[in-house]
């Protein structure tokens, strides 16, 4: 079933009242048609809250150091985040290393539309993020480094509590999505200049969504099927995004692989490239509730399934230049195939009330665009310890990350405003001893706003989304 086209948005009427009434009717129809899509579009993905420290729904870095370089240090960062960026760069790790990264992401969302929502703020929820990794060189196999890590690959969430709906009610609209990975990495130095790496992974992802769950409307001439508020369970989104895995949110387990190469072209210049395989999610095992109170059925529980959301293939090309012993410049350019997300299919089955509709099916176009990311980073070693094998003791870092917005105006909504394009980062690293080190990073995404008309969703013409925010990341490292 194709989503309705709200062509009347640009139509003219005899007066503003008649035009608004027509828009309301058409928007109500759109709600009924797009209802189940929203569940999945809990947005692109994430354990955290909004798309602010992300390229699309993907995190920019996976340790404090890699984030401080704005995601540009694929062939320069010598910590276990390399398992998830360029496994060939694990060859930079000497001995054994253990890294724990923890932090949080804070976004500020605002939504406006023709239904009386004027710059309404979303809930300023703080969401937790974290990564964990260990890697070691195998002494018995010269050139071989192995490692493993758990990574928050990406995610998203939004939470509006007091939106004025197309039905004139006050209700909620929220979404949550996260993608976590466990990866095993291997890197092999074929020569003293050339390394290859591979990192197969198993991932877990779940979603939740609410669209006007307290609203229920009987059929009318303008809304022949009526409207039932929708709620996909959100236990996964609780406690700052640290809700239980495998609960009542639709979920899936997937497999992927990343391969990479790194080459030291000159004593001061290193280059590299990586490829990440795509993943298609098939979310099952979830529960959804439709509000049929106005029909006399109360709230009806369904099994929920979502397909069509994908984590795309990706290609990265990187370089790191060290013009002096203390100064480092890094650059990474990435192509992310978000354009592979075209249509999302949602199916609700097995209602617990025999009088309710037995099944609901919906296919809705997403039509995302591919994304090109350019990231550049700088680091400067302020203090060095000449007696240590790795002499850097106090390092200052900064970075800039730019990516085009992958979400077209025709499919944007307050549930997935993944529209940030610029990110600025800064950080510091300090080694207490030769074995213990701490890195801190702050990343800021300045405000970006987009005015849009989505013909598939009930937010009318010239709706507006705004987003800004910041991320804090801390990494504690121990070298054996």
* Sequence spans of domains, the chain: 7-479
HSE-up of 124 (CA within 13 Å, CB side)?
6
With 60 as the cut, is the pLDDT of residue 38 above it?
Answer: no
Counting every residue written for the chain, the total comes to: 480
Q: Centre a 10 Å sphere on the Cβ of residue 271 and count the other Cβ atoms it contains.
A: 18
Phi-psi region of 246 (alpha: psi -120 to 50; beta: other; left: phi over 0): left
The closest of 444, 381, 457, 460 to 106, measured between CA atoms, is 444
pLDDT of residue 239: 53
As beta bridge partners, residue 321 has 269, 329
User: 1: pLDDT confidence band, cut at 50, 70 and 90?
Assistant: very low
For residue 466, is pLDDT > 80?
A: yes
Query: Per the structure block, which two tokens stand in for 14?
Result: 């005899």
Q: Which CATH superfamily is domain 7-479 in?
A: Outer membrane protein transport protein (OMPP1/FadL/TodX) (2.40.160.60)
The predicted pLDDT at position 366 comes to 83
State the greatest distance between any 2 C-alpha atoms of the chain, in Å, as a whole number. Answer: 84
Asked whether the predicted pLDDT for residue 269 surpasses 60, the reply is yes
Q: What percent of the chain has pLDDT over 90?
A: 63
Give residue 164's Cα distance to chain centre.
27
Angle of CA points 330, 448, 54, to nearest 5°: 45
pLDDT beyond 50 at 30: no
Q: Which two structure tokens, joined as six digits, stand for 389? A: 């094998």
Q: Which residues pair with 135 in a beta bridge?
A: 97, 147
Per-residue pLDDT reduced to its tens digit, 153-175: 988 888 898 899 988 999 998 88
CA angle 464, 468, 472 (to 5 degrees): 155
CA–CA separation, 27 vs 5, rounded Å? 9
Determine the pLDDT at residue 240. Answer: 53
Looking at 205-209, 245-249, 311-315, which range is the least confident one? Answer: 245-249
- Mean pLDDT computed over 243-262: 87
Which residues, at least 6 apart from 33, have a Cβ–Cβ distance to it below 8 Å? 1, 3, 4, 362, 364, 456
Q: What per-residue confidence (pLDDT) applies to 41?
A: 30
Specify the residue for token string 């995601």. Answer: 71
**Tokens 């729904």 appear where?**
57
Asked if the model's pLDDT at residue 96 lies above 90, the reply is yes
Helix (H) / strand (E) element for 204: namely strand 194-217
Sign of the Cα pseudo-torsion (53, 186, 80, 207, in order): positive
In terms of pLDDT, which residue wins out, 133 or 7? Answer: 133
pLDDT at residue 22 in the model: 38
Contacts of 52 (CB under 8 A, 6+ apart): 105, 106, 107, 420, 423, 445, 467, 468, 469, 470, 471
């Amino acid at each position: 079933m194709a989503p309705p086209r709200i062509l009347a948005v640009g139509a003219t009427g005899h007066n503003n009242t008649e035009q608004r009434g027509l828009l309301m009717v058409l928007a109500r129809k759109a709600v009924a048609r797009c209802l189940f899509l929203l569940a999945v579009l809990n947005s692109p993905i994430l354990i955290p809250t909004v798309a602010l420290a992300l390229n699309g729904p993907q995190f920019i870095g996976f340790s404090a150091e890699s984030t401080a370089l704005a995601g540009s240090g694929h062939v320069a960062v010598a910590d276990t985040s390399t398992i998830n960026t360029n496994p060939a760069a694990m060859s930079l790790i000497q001995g054994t290393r253990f890294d724990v990264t923890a932090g949080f992401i804070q976004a500020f969302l605002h939504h406006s539309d023709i239904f009386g929502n004027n710059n309404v703020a979303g809930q300023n929820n703080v969401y937790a993020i974290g990564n964990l990794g260990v890697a070691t060189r195998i002494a018995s196999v010269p050139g071989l480094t192995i490692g493993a890590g758990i990574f928050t690959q990406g995610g998203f969430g939004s939470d509006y509590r007091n939106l004025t709906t197309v039905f004139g009610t006050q209700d909620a609209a929220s979404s949550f999505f996260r993608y976590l990975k466990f990866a095993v990495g291997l890197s092999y130095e074929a020569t003293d200049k050339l390394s290859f790496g591979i990192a197969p992974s198993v991932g877990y992802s779940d979603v939740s969504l609410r669209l006007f769950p307290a609203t229920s409307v009987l059929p009318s001439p303008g809304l022949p099927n009526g409207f039932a508020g929708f709620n996909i369970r959100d236990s996964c989104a609780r406690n700052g995004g640290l809700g239980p895995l495998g609960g009542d949110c639709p979920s899936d387990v997937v497999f992927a692989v990343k391969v990479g190469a790194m080459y030291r072209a000159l004593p001061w210049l290193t280059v590299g490239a990586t490829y990440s395989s795509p993943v298609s999610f098939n979310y099952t095992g979830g529960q959804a509730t439709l509000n049929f109170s106005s029909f006399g059925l109360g709230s009806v529980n369904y099994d929920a399934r979502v397909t069509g959301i994908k984590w795309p293939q990706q290609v990265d090309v990187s370089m790191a230049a060290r013009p002096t012993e203390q100064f480092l410049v890094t650059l990474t350019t990435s192509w992310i195939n978000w354009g592979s997300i075209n249509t999302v299919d949602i199916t609700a089955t097995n209602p617990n009330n025999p009088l309710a509709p037995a099944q609901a099916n919906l296919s809705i176009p997403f039509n995302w665009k591919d994304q090109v990311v350019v990231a550049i980073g700088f680091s400067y070693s302020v203090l060095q310890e000449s007696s240590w094998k790795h002499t850097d003791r106090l390092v200052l870092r900064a970075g800039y990350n730019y990516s085009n917005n992958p979400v077209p105006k025709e499919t944007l909504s307050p549930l997935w405003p993944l529209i940030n394009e610029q990110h600025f980062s800064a950080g510091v690293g300090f080694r207490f001893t030769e074995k213990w080190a701490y890195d801190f990073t702050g990343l800021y995404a300045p405000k970006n706003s987009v005015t849009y008309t989505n013909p598939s969703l009930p937010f009318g013409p010239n709706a507006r989304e705004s987003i800004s925010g910041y991320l804090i990341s801390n990494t504690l490292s121990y070298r054996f």
